[in-house]
Structure formats: C-alpha cells, structure tokens
Amino acid sequence: MSNTTLYRKYRPTSFKELIGQDHIVQVLQNEIKEGKVAHAYLFSGSRGTGKTSVARIIAQELGTTSNDLYEIDAASNRGIDNIREIRDSVSTQPFDSKYKVYIIDEAHMLTKEAFNALLKTLEEPPPYVIFMLATTEIEKLPETIVSRCETFQFKQPSQIVLKEVVLKTAKKEGFVLDQVSAELIALLGNGSFRDTYGILQKVMNASLDKTITPEEVEVITGAPKGELINDLIKAIGTKDREVGLTAISRAFENNVDAKTFLLLLTQKLRYALFLRHGTGEAMVKSNVSEDDFIFLNTFAKQKDMAINSKTLLSILEAYTYVGLSPIPQLPIELAFLACVGEGE
C-alpha cells in the first residue's frame, strides 16, 4: 500500500466528490456561480466531517493558487501575535489570484485577545480577502465572531454512508471485505470520515492476504468479540446476572474500550428490538453475520425475552459515566444490573 494515508488519498477535491453535505454544497455552489461569495465563513461540526476540505474546495473554485492560500492551525498558532501577522498581511494584494484565502482550523482554540484582534479584520476586510474558520466547538467562539460569518453546520455521516465508503475504498485498494466487516469498521468510525479511514487503513495494513474477516477486525481494532456481546444480550434477556457479569469481565480482561463495547451492545440490542417487532429484517440481515442474525432473530422472537426500550435507555445512560469511572467496566456492570433488576 502507498505511504499516503487513506484519508488524504481520498479527501474530496471537488464539490462533486463531497459526501453527505448536500445542504451546504448547493448554497456554496450558487454563491460562487452568482459571484456572491461571503467575506467570512464559519464551518462547524464534529471532527472528520469535511470542514477543511470544503474550505480548500472553495478556494480552488475561486481560482486561488497556493501563493494566495494560507492555512493556519489555531491549536498551535492561537495568540494575538499570530493574528496580528494575519491582520498585517491582508493589506497586501494577492500574488496571482483574485482572492487571498485564509483558512483558520480549530478556530475555537484562539485566545480572547486573538479573537479581539481578528474581529476588526472580519468586520471590514479588503474586497480580495476571504476568511474561512473551521471548528468542532462553535459554542466556544465569541458571538461577535460568529455573527460576522456566514455559518454552516456540517452533518455527521450516517453509518450507512460510512459503510459504503469502507466497501468502495477497500475495493479500490484491492481488498476483499464483506458486509459485516464493513459494518463494524463504519460503526467504530463513529460518525467521522477521517476516523473510519484510519480504522480501515489499520486493518488493511495488518492483513496478510487482502481478505478481511470480522474476526480480523475485532482483533486488530480491539473490539470485543461478538460472542461476548451476544452472551451479554442473552443474559439481559433471561436476567442471568452471573452470565452477564462474566461476559463483561471477559471482555475487559482483553482491554476493550468501554465506549466501543457500549456502541456494539447498543447496536445489537437495537437490532433485537427491530426483529422482535417484526421490522427491519432485511436491514439487520445485511449488517450482521449469518450466525448473529440467527441468534438475534431466534432470541428476539421468544415471548419471555426481557428486552425492551427501557433496556436500551439503561445502556445509553452508561455512556454518561464512561470516562468518569475509575473502573472502566463499572458503568456497564451497573447498567446491566439495572436491566436485569438488581435485588430481584
């Protein structure tokens, strides 16, 4: 494989290649076509959703060359002196483009003094200057900054979108990847193109034969084995405390990530509820292995299965405490005990 990371290799370089942000693309394309480009844009959204890529695409569409494109990482250039340099440089004409474009990534990291220094420039920039601010935490930006920008909220890609990206990318790279493996990688990507590409690359780099199985994904990513998740689901449904606590203990003996464990558990419980109510069978079948489908479908149809919407809510509540607990598995153990009726 090439030394270039998958995320960089497949980073969109045109609006046509951008996935899942149609509500933004349409507006920006119309503005560029009509010559009504704003002097300042603010792109917000979770990591890996394409904010910086869109900023670069806009610069490209406007014909801005590398000589007139400036990218600043506010995480490491966050002080007033850095912004003063920008403020001084905007007074000079572009080298060989119509516009000078300044992309400020992680804009929320700027200091209060830096924001104050930037404010005046955002209010009255030269007609040839365009600012593009990108942030994962828009709530940390001063309202005075936000109000002077044209703002766009980037959506997280759905798991369906990420799964399709995984399948297409693996095929382009010459790997054989089944639906279940792609589903697991997309799930672990957690709404980020960048993270999903990173996980896929990690799995590809570890593959010896370019054929990737769900078991390989579990081992390489540190995801809990599917059988342990199934054991815990069965324990919830039958209110078997010993089996459930043992499954959790076995999973964490292998140093699994608590959030990953909860993510996979929530997904399968959701599928079990769908099957219990007779909906989404085709969707579930396409996203789990044949053995998992048989397990979930058989178990979901049992009349005495103690899994319902309250079960899912208990598991979701455990997310609140992951990262706060000194014992990683404790929030999951407590959620499990709540599901099976502690003290009954």
pLDDT, mean over the chain = 90
Q: How many CB atoms lie within 10 A of CB 263?
A: 16
Per the CB < 8 A criterion, the answer to whether 166 and 196 are in contact is yes
Q: Given this model, what pLDDT does residue 132 score?
A: 97
Q: Which domains does the chain have, with CATH numbers?
A: 20-153 (3.40.50.300), 159-221 (1.10.8.60), 226-340 (1.20.272.10)
Please state the φ and ψ torsions of residue 43, each to the nearest 5 degrees: -105, 120
Q: Given this model, what pLDDT does residue 20 score?
A: 87
Tell me which residues of the chain have a pLDDT lower than 50: none
Per the CB < 8 A criterion, the answer to whether 268 and 310 are in contact is no
Tokens of 30: 């119309």
DSSP code string of 253-313: HTT--HHHHHHHHHHHHHHHHHHHTT--HHHHHHHS-HHHHHHHHHHHT-TT----HHHHH
Q: Given this model, what pLDDT does residue 124 score?
A: 86
pLDDT digits over 5-16, tens only? Answer: 999 999 999 999
Q: Given this model, what pLDDT does residue 133 score?
A: 97
> What is the rounded CA–CA span in Å between residue 36 and residue 62?
11
